């Protein structure tokens, strides 16, 4: 038995309406949803330019901060600013005169010593090693001293004035007065920690009681 799919009086299916050009060059697209049709409008030129500009900027930004090693992160910038603040606070607290007691106080401030360790790593490791174990310069962690008796004031003088005959620069010309104190205090905190490294040089000085 044959069944007709459509009654003989059913209207023919509507053919798809072709895209219609409209004023301005945009076309009215053929598809329709719930009686709504849309124009084939291109994205505005300013939007496309911003998109591609943002895309290439993101590539450059990522390379600069994550691969080149030249970028300073927000965290690093913050830590640098806080180090400056701590140094200024230390300068005001210690006054202009450098004393053994004042340098000793610096050794007790963990954050200032962390800042000093960073300065030491940047300025001093080529000659004294990462752990102050000695490379070209002497081992700073044993009980032997080439200049002075190993007091904090002696260390401060050596850091500040340098040892031109041995090729050590005067760091007071490159560091602030507070940074010189910080480095001296940091080196003082390493006394008699005896990191494995260069053989002792100078005179053995008994540790302070």
Q: Which sequence spans correspond to the domains of the chain? A: 20-66, 74-204
Higher pLDDT: 113 or 92? It is 113
What percentage of the chain exceeds 90 in pLDDT?
Answer: 50
Instruction: Assess whether pLDDT exceeds 60 at residue 101.
Output: yes
DSSP string, 122-161: HHTHHHH-TTS--SSS--SSSSEESSTTS-HHHHHHHHHH
Instruction: Assess whether pLDDT exceeds 50 at residue 92.
Output: yes
Residue 74: pLDDT band (50, 70, 90) is confident
Instruction: Assess whether pLDDT exceeds 50 at residue 11.
Output: yes
Alpha helices in the chain (DSSP H): 45-66, 74-94, 100-107, 110-123, 125-128, 152-161, 177-189
CA distance 52 to 39: 24
Query: What number is the average pLDDT over the span 24-50?
Result: 81
Q: Over the chain, what is the mean pLDDT?
A: 83
pLDDT at residue 184, rounded to an integer = 95
| Number of other residues whose CB lies within 10 A of the CB of residue 171 | 19
Query: What number is the average pLDDT over the span 117-146?
Result: 93
What is the CATH number that goes with domain 74-204? 1.10.760.10
Q: What is the pLDDT of residues 15-25, one digit of tens each?
A: 445 555 555 55
Higher pLDDT: 202 or 33? It is 202
> pTM above 0.75?
no
pLDDT at residue 30, rounded to an integer = 79
Instruction: Give the lowest-confidence range in 41-45, 73-77, 111-115.
Output: 73-77
Higher pLDDT: 26 or 3? It is 26
């Amino acid at each position: 038995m044959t069944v007709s799919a459509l009654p003989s009086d059913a209207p023919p299916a509507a053919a798809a309406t072709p895209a219609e050009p409209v004023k301005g060059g945009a076309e009215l697209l053929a598809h329709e949803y719930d009686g709504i049709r849309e124009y084939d409008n291109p994205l505005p030129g300013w939007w496309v330019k911003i998109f591609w500009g943002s895309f290439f900027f993101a590539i450059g930004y990522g390379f600069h901060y994550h691969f080149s090693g030249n970028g300073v992160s927000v965290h690093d910038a913050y830590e640098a600013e806080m180090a400056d603040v701590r140094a200024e606070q230390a300068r005001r607290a210690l006054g202009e005169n450098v004393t053994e007691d004042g340098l000793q106080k610096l050794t007790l401030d963990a954050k200032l010593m962390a800042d000093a360790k960073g300065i030491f790593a940047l300025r001093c490791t080529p000659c004294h090693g990462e752990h102050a174990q000695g490379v070209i310069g002497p081992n700073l962690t044993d009980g032997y001293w080439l200049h002075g008796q190993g007091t904090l004031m002696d260390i401060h003088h050596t850091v500040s004035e340098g040892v031109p005959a041995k090729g050590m620069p005067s760091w007071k010309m490159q560091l602030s007065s507070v940074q010189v104190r910080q480095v001296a205090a940091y080196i003082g905190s390493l006394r008699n920690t005896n990191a494995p490294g260069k053989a002792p040089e100078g005179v053995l000085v008994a540790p302070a009681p």
